[in-house]
Amino acid sequence: MLLKFIFMQFTTTTDAPHSGRDMLRSVLFLLVLAYALTYLLPLGVRPMMFPDETRYGEIPREMLQSGNWAVPHLIDLRYFEKPPMGYWLTAISISVFGENIFAVRLPSALASGLSAWFIWLLLIRTGGGAGVALAAAAVFLTFIEVLIIGTTALLDSPFSVFLTGGMVLFYLAANAAQSTRQQVLGLAASGVLFGMAFLTKGLLAFVLPGIALLPYCLIQKRYKLLWQSWWIILGAALTITPWAIIIHLREADFWHYFIWEEHIRRFMSDNAQHAEPMYFYLALLPVVMFPWSGFIPAAIAGLRLTNQQTDLLRYLLLWFGMPLLFLSISRGKLPTYILPCMVPAAILLGMGLLNYLKAGRQRLFVLGLVINTVLLLLGLIALWNRQHHSSDGLLYLLPAETIKWYAMLAGFGVAILVTLSMFYFKGMGQRIAALATSVVILFQILNGALPSYTLAVKSPGLLFEQVAPKLKADTVLVSDGNAVRAVAWTLKRSDIYLLSEGELFYGSGYPEHAGRRLGEEGLRKLLAQQLSGELKRDIAVFCELTCSKTASAMLRPVAQHYTNSKFSVWVVSYAR
């Protein structure tokens, strides 16, 4: 019944005139086509990136291989950093499309598209109008952060889309007739989506919406809605409980590690991972919201020009501001964490910018064009400086990559010209389409013209694929904790010994996996066993950089060394 309710929400639109519907279908078709060309088509262009994509590809691959969908494993070691929903989505994609980069990235791309659809749904169902809905969806899909994360295998896009869906369905239910079947189903459906968000990244699935929904209900004096929100709790509980029970029965220490290490210590500890100052996200917003950040003043002015939709505006401001404040207070910070805030930001920008232009205002809009043009020129200058005045002595692009260099220059040039063309467009839709097109063109060109050095640094799989033909099926694999994910994904093997543990410190600490912690002394013994003939197999050692000094000293006299300056492979052949 909940699925039927959500489907009905998706397939219900406004009662537009027939001619208007035809135009709406045409524009929607173009938006969907642009999304497919921007998000889906180029998914396989870049090689698998280190470190996250190799992790989020390998864990689902091992799920499919082992048939164990309840407990995530990485190289057959327990991996308790995240619940399984994100891995499930990727595993399903791999089972359909095969073990390839497209399949690993597809869930992120689909999640971005579905987030844009939720934006459309919210504005259409609340009377915002098709024009605002299309503008807000276009703004969201062309935020540079959304473009990058949506075409990268990370958990942030699936997590964000579940939060977005829950927030949208909550608002629609809150504005339905009190205590009706539609309201109850809407609240329960939002709880299901919050539960799926929890199964993707954990407790933030309740914290981020909770700190926005509670003040909204209090400010709007929707006290009865607070009581009815137990339907949200019920929906979330029904979604989470089956897996929660299974993981507790199979791995009793999962919850202690997951709650303490992955939540409390990560977000509040003095030595939290990825620690940044409190102003970090505020300073980052103009970057992640490019190319629309220059139009924030115009959007703010536009939102102040209307007194309509004040309830929705309060909701959107709380949805954007409260999670941003919480994440800013938390010690651990990454740019990807604020992805859920990009949805309300896009809606506010789309609504405000259209209001501003409809009112015949121009000054702040022109200011936004100037800011964007200056930013693009600065990017072009930085690219030129990096290429011709590199302080580290490494060329950004090699002499053989001239075509990439010209493509990058052309990308910035076209983006600048398209941005400047907005001075000559009169229609609001044309202006928004032009700005969206400029960033899409630039992103696509840069995406396809990544320098070989960048690929070498961020894609160890390229080196490992070159070495793979030199390895035998029974070669003993050894890796440090940084390279191990790429080794497992590239070679499709999980029987890998650890020279150092890295993020697998906890999983490798179980007694039954003690033998997997090889260390430098273990490597010394392994080489001695091969030399004495006790081990009649080749040995391959994979490391970030060149391994430790001690390990390198052991390997250098007896091994063939392959490197791309960032990663190394040492192959010690057994003399048969």
Residues 6+ apart with CB under 8 A from 66: 73, 76
Please report whether residue 290 resides in a domain: no
Tokens standing for 70? 């309840």
pLDDT on residue 524: 95
Residues 491 and 445 in one domain: no
* Domain span at 435: 363-451
Range 471-493 average pLDDT: 94
Task: Say if strands 73-74 and 77-78 run parallel, antiparallel, or are unpaired.
Answer: antiparallel
Q: DSSP label at 224? A: H
Please report whether residue 535 resides in a domain: yes
- Nearest C-alpha neighbor of 526 from the set 463, 564, 477, 562: 477
Average pLDDT of the chain, as a whole number: 88
Residues 269 and 408 in one domain: no
Residues 414 and 548 in one domain: no
Range 219-244 average pLDDT: 92
Residues 119 and 246 in one domain: yes
pLDDT band at 6 (very low <50, low <70, confident <90, very high): very low
Please report whether residue 25 resides in a domain: no
Range 466-488 average pLDDT: 94
| 534, pLDDT greater than 80 | yes
Domain closes at, from 425, 451, 477:
451
Residues 108 and 203 in one domain: yes
Q: Is 112:153 a contact under the CB 8 Å cutoff?
A: no
Range 346-352 average pLDDT: 95
For residue 269, the number of C-alpha atoms closer than 13 Å in the C-beta half-sphere is: 11
Tokens standing for 149? 């994360």
Helix axis angle for 363-388 and 428-448, nearest 10°, is 10
Is the model more confident about 322 or about 452?
322
Q: Is 72 exposed, middle or buried (0-12, 13-18, 19+ CB in 10 A)?
A: buried
| 393, pLDDT greater than 50 | no
Domain closes at, from 422, 451, 480:
451
544 in helix, strand or coil? strand
Q: Give Cα 505 distance to the centre of its chain.
A: 25
Tokens standing for 419? 């941005």
Beta-bridged to residue 162, according to DSSP, are none
As a three-state string, the secondary structure of 347-394 is: HHHHHHHHHHHHCCCCHHHHHHHHHHHHHHHHHHHHHHHHHHCCCCCC
| 453, pLDDT greater than 90 | no
Residues 82 and 212 in one domain: yes
pLDDT band at 4 (very low <50, low <70, confident <90, very high): very low
Tokens standing for 420? 């400047």
**pLDDT digit string, tens, across residues 30-47:** 788 889 999 999 898 889
Give how far Cα 363 sits from Cα of 141, 297, 477, Å: 26, 10, 63
Task: Say if strands 539-544 and 476-479 run parallel, antiparallel, or are unpaired.
Answer: parallel
DSSP 57-75: HHHHHHHHHH---SS-EET
pLDDT band at 23 (very low <50, low <70, confident <90, very high): low
Residues 126 and 265 in one domain: yes
Q: DSSP label at 499? A: S
User: Could you give the CA distance from residue 91 to residue 94 in angstroms, rounded to a whole number?
Assistant: 5
Residues 549 and 565 in one domain: yes
Beta-bridged to residue 569, according to DSSP, are 542, 562
Range 459-467 average pLDDT: 93
pLDDT on residue 455: 82
pLDDT on residue 19: 47
Range 515-541 average pLDDT: 93
Task: Say if strands 539-544 and 567-572 run parallel, antiparallel, or are unpaired.
Answer: antiparallel
Task: Return the H-helix or E-strand segment holding 543.
Answer: strand 539-544
User: Could you give the CA distance from residue 351 to residue 363 in angstroms, rounded to a whole number?
Assistant: 18
Alpha-carbon dihedral sign for residues 156, 324, 165, 309:
negative
Helix axis angle for 156-174 and 181-201, nearest 10°, is 160
| 514, pLDDT greater than 90 | no
Q: How far apart are the first and last CA of the chain?
A: 66
Please report whether residue 100 resides in a domain: yes
**pLDDT digit string, tens, across residues 236-280:** 999 999 999 999 999 989 998 888 777 776 666 555 566 788 899
Tokens standing for 93? 């994609």
pTM for the model stands at 0.91
178 in helix, strand or coil? coil
Residues 192 and 252 in one domain: yes
Range 343-366 average pLDDT: 91
pLDDT on residue 241: 97
Q: Is 504:484 a contact under the CB 8 Å cutoff?
A: yes
Q: Is 317:343 a contact under the CB 8 Å cutoff?
A: no
| 478, pLDDT greater than 60 | yes
pLDDT on residue 452: 81
Q: Give Cα 539 distance to the centre of its chain.
A: 36
Give how far Cα 30 sits from Cα of 26, 124, 168, Å: 6, 18, 24
Q: Is 294 exposed, middle or buried (0-12, 13-18, 19+ CB in 10 A)?
A: buried
Range 92-117 average pLDDT: 97
pLDDT band at 176 (very low <50, low <70, confident <90, very high): confident
User: Could you give the CA distance from residue 284 to residue 467 in angstroms, rounded to a whole number?
Assistant: 40
Q: Give Cα 466 distance to the centre of its chain.
A: 28
Residues 6+ apart with CB under 8 A from 9: 121, 125, 169, 172
Give the sheet arrangement for strand 567-572, strand by strand: 496-498, 476-479, 539-544, 567-572, 560-563
Range 319-340 average pLDDT: 92
Residues 215 and 117 in one domain: yes
Residues 82 and 211 in one domain: yes
- Nearest C-alpha neighbor of 191 from the set 152, 232, 228: 232
User: Could you give the CA distance from residue 133 to residue 335 in angstroms, rounded to a whole number?
Assistant: 26
Please report whether residue 299 resides in a domain: no
How many structural domains are present in the chain?
3
12-26, 270-284, 485-499: range with lowest mean pLDDT: 12-26
Tokens standing for 245? 């029970």
Please report whether residue 32 resides in a domain: no
Task: Say if strands 476-479 and 496-498 run parallel, antiparallel, or are unpaired.
Answer: parallel
Please report whether residue 264 resides in a domain: yes
Is the model more confident about 398 or about 542?
542
pLDDT on residue 270: 59
Please report whether residue 60 resides in a domain: yes
| 171, pLDDT greater than 60 | yes
Q: DSSP label at 505? A: T
pLDDT on residue 272: 59
Q: Is 512:549 a contact under the CB 8 Å cutoff?
A: no
**pLDDT digit string, tens, across residues 404-448:** 888 888 888 888 888 888 777 777 777 888 888 888 888 888 888
Tokens standing for 290? 């490019």
List, in sequence order, the alpha helices (H) in 223-330: 223-228, 230-250, 254-256, 266-268, 280-288, 296-303, 310-329
| 468, pLDDT greater than 90 | yes
Tokens standing for 276? 């940044």
Residues 441 and 518 in one domain: no
Domain closes at, from 430, 451, 472:
451
pLDDT band at 88 (very low <50, low <70, confident <90, very high): very high
